[in-house]
Structure 1
Amino acid sequence: MSVDQNGAVGDVLRVENLEVAYRVRGFRSQPRTVVHGVDLSIAAGETVALVGESGSGKSTIGNAILGLVPVAAGTITLDGVDVTSFSGHRRRALSRTVQAVFQNPYGSLNPWITVGQTLAEPLRVAGRSRAEIADRLHWLLDRVNLPADALNRYPSEFSGGQRQRVAIARAIALEPRLVVCDEPTSALDVLTQAAVLRLLRELQDDLGISYLFITHDLAIVRGFANRVGVLDQGRIVESGSARQVCDDPQNPYTRQLVAAAPVPDPILQRERRAHRLALSGDDSET
């Protein structure tokens, strides 16, 4: 099964039959395949979510697209260019096409340099002049709703939500076609999660950015993503529109993920918990 919509010619991202394998320690040990034959496409301005538990392979797919892990088989095409085997300077040249926002906003920012230096770095590497960089930095702060004095401050001086806004600003500095969002809200409280998701949607509407949104929480993607692929042990076991997958899941694993998603209604939450236990074959009380 795939997260594909017939692979339109103008797709920003197209992944075909992707396999990723990791080396296993030990004499004569064989590599262990952790992603199995995944197909995926994302159109311009579209959000596709990959959902699964920890270890399901969703972040590995994101890392393969970003060039952070090698591909064992299959192809990755960005804006019509096969980048599967790109490395070094050829991969760095893709920074104008694909960027990333990671889970931990503090860990993804250098604590020893100011926000201004963090945001200026990709612009400087891209050859922008000092005047262009200065104008762009103020534009970026305005886009992510951070105060002007943020440029002279360090990441430790901001809240988690503000740090994630800095990370988002860095990701959009060169207006990439695709942003890989790897659990970008999981380290944030519920209200801050909602604010960050609103920001991502606004940026998508204004800039036409596409998102690959990686998460373990189906409840988040229902109103945010266009399409969803559910991963279990490196394989896509269900895919479709976000509402279809969230409201009428067909695969037992997907139904477990839906039942595990927290809801504000305590009665409905108890019903979901009972359903989840029934699916797992455990009717014991805790």
Structure 2
Amino acid sequence: MGEKEISNGERMIQTNVPYRIEMKLLSPLAGVFFRKCRHGKKGDEEEPGREMDDRELADHEEAIRKAVDKVNSPEIEGGNPFDLMEECFDGSPSIQEKVEHGVISVENVEGVLYGCTTLLLKEALEAWELEEMCEYISMQYSDGWGEVFEQRDIPADGGIIRVYFDPVRDPDFQIQSKVIKNPNLENQKNDISDSGKSAVLKTEEQNPQMKKPRPILSLTRCGRHIFSVLSGAMQILIKTGQREEADEMYDRVSKVQGYEESLAIICEYVEIEPDSAREKETQGEQKKKPEQGRER
């Protein structure tokens, strides 16, 4: 799904898709400040605590972030940090194939501190897969990772703070997505044989004006979300031997905003085939219009 084999004429090499989709799922945080007892022992705090909103928590971002990193740190020296996908996810196989990593952190957005789970995707999730993933993250915030984190005393001036990733059950996640390059693949760009390189150079020298035709990309197959369209276009360009064009297209799309502008750039590199189902639906509607006119 996210990997494919490419033959260089001598051996088969395994290569990953040269991009990933980074998806951030943001949700509200809540906190409680406990003031230290003046005459109590060290570690004693006054009850009850004072509730803190997400803007006030932003003032303590550095301390909260350190506490998150501490919970995520490996339990044993040399181990791997906590990863939602590697630790305990036993959901749908398609999600396990698409989601490489899931890391919990905090994110400051315009002075508001949010809980944040960052997913690294090989390809875009279907709507039902995203819903299942959000349910899993909510469960981790309330009963798994979050249950451990909320017991940590985060130092603050005059007392301690306890932070909760699950102030509401099943939160409406704010979703931010962007396509990023896969740094693990940068060194594989030159992993082709010398004979293959010389063959390409010879062909270009013989046909300096030759322009490669645009491969066809079906919207039925890749969907209409711009990240799905971009990932599908990159896959088909690489499959047809146009890795440089794929990288160039990615760089251009990453510098613009808006669906239409991004799609216009993608169309310079691939020929987009309309969604067949939608096209049939449109044609059916057009056929019905004259019939309705005759009935009148």
Fold-level similarity (TM above 0.5) = no
Greater RCO (CA < 8 Å, at least 6 residues apart): 1
Flag the structure with larger Rg: 2
TM-score by length of 1: 0.29
TM-score by length of 2: 0.29
